[in-house]
A = this chain, B = another copy of it.
C-alpha cells in the first residue's frame, strides 16, 4: 500500500499552490476576496484638527489666564472652513467632526458650559490645552499603510477603503473551479431516487463553501461511464484551474477516476491517506497547470477533505495566512486503527474563554445528518490511540455561510 500521512499529504498539496494574478474590484463587490495590495492614507488621518465633542473652542490665552466668560463669535458645523478666534474672551461654538482653527487650542463640552447666547460661561474644571481635539495626522500620516495586503475584505476593511477614497481595490483573482460529482447512484435533488439511489449533495456543499471566498464553481455530474468521464474531464482540464471531484476513487470496479485522470496526463501526487474519514483521497496536478482533488464520495469525507486540504491550498494560493486553531477535547476518545482520526466535534466557547470541543458520534462517514450537530473536525495525532479529555488538539472549523 502507498498510504501517506496527513502531514505528507498536506506538504505535497501546499507545494502545488498557484497564483492567479490580481484584479481591481469596486469595494461593494469585493467582500470575501483577499486584498492584494496595501491601502494607504491618501491624506493625514484625521485630515484636520478635529473636534471630538460638541461645545465651544477657545484660545491659548484663555486657557493660560483661565478665562471663564466668553462671547460666541460664530457657529462652526462639521464640514465648514474653520472660523478663527478674534480674541482671548471670544469663542466659537463647534460641532463634533468640525475642523478646529489653529487659533483654538481646546474645546469645552456643552455639558461644562452655561449658554446664554451670545454669552458662554465655563462651569466645569479648568480646560487643558488640546482637550477634545483629535490632532491632524494623529492616527496616520499621508501615505502610511492603513491596511496591509493579505487581509480578507469585510465590513471594516470596506469602510476603511471608502474613507480613503479607494472605490476600487486590488484583490487576488480566483481560480476557475469545477465541482464534478461522479456515481451512477446519484440523482438530482429534484428527481425521485429509486429505493437504491440517493440524491446528490456534495456539489451543493462545495459550491456553498467556495462562495464564501467569492468563487462561483460550476457543477457537473458524471455517471460511472469511462468514455463519458474521459471526454468530459478532457475538456474540464482545459477550461478550469481546479477540478474537485467526488466519488470514484476507492477500490470499486467502477472507480474510474484515477485511471481517467492519468490518461489525461494529470500527474498523480498521491492516492490514499492514513486518515478517517477520507482515506481514498487522490491528488494530482499538471505541472504549472490545473490541479485536481478527487475526494471520496461520502459527504462527511468530502467535507473533511475540503476543509483539511482544499481550503488551506486555496488560502495559501490567495496569500491568506490564517492561524491554526485549537480546542480542548471534552471527552476521552479511543481510536485504535493506524489512521489519523478526525472526529466531528461541536465547538463552543466557555465563560472562561476556553474553546471546548465536544465529540458528536456519528455512524461513520456516511452519516451526513451529523454535520448539522457539529461545527468542526478535530485532528487527533496519528501516533496515539487514546486522547484524553482536557487536552487541546487542532480543529478545522466548518465554513459556515
Contact = CB atoms under 8 A, between A and B. Distances in A.
Given A48-B195, A54-B250, A189 B167 contact: yes
Interface stretch (A57-65, A257-265, A284-292, A343-351): A343-351
Nearest to A202: B159
Please indicate which of the listed interface residues A27, A185, A325 has the most CB atoms of chain B within 10 Å of its own CB. A185
A159 B392 CA distance: 30
Given A224-B77, A371-B160, A401 B208 contact: no
Interface in A312-355: 323-328, 348-355
B350 A398 contact: no
A211 B79 contact: no
A125 interface: no
A39 B222 CA distance: 28
Interface stretch (A4-12, A13-21, A144-152, A233-241): A144-152
16 contacts: A27-B189, A28-B204, A96-B252, A97-B185, A154-B400, A155-B398, A157-B372, A159-B201, A159-B204, A159-B205, A159-B299, A162-B189, A162-B199, A163-B198, A163-B299, A351-B392
Nearest to A144: B369
A372 B146 contact: yes
B367 A80 contact: no
A52 interface: yes
A99 interface: yes
A331 to B, nearest CB: 14
A90 interface: no
Contact of A183 (B97, B159, B164, B323): B97
B79 A184 contact: yes
Contact of A353 (B77, B351, B354, B371): B354
Contacts of A81: 194, 196
A32 interface: yes
Contacts of A116: none
Interface of A: 27-28, 31-32, 41, 45-48, 50, 52-55, 75, 77-82, 93, 95-99, 109-111, 134, 138-140, 146-147, 151-160, 162-165, 167, 183-186, 189-190, 192-202, 204-209, 211-212, 224, 250-255, 297, 299, 303, 323-328, 348-357, 362-372, 392, 398-401
Q: Which 3 A-B pairs have the closest CB atoms?
A: A79-B185, A159-B205, A78-B185
Contacts of A252: 54, 77, 95-96
A381 B201 CA distance: 46
Contacts of A392: 351-353
Contact of A201 (B32, B45, B160, B401): B160
A148 to B, nearest CB: 8
A133 B348 CA distance: 33
A374 B261 CA distance: 45
A207 B26 CA distance: 14
Contacts of A353: 326-328, 354-357, 392
A81 B82 CA distance: 84
A297 B209 CA distance: 35
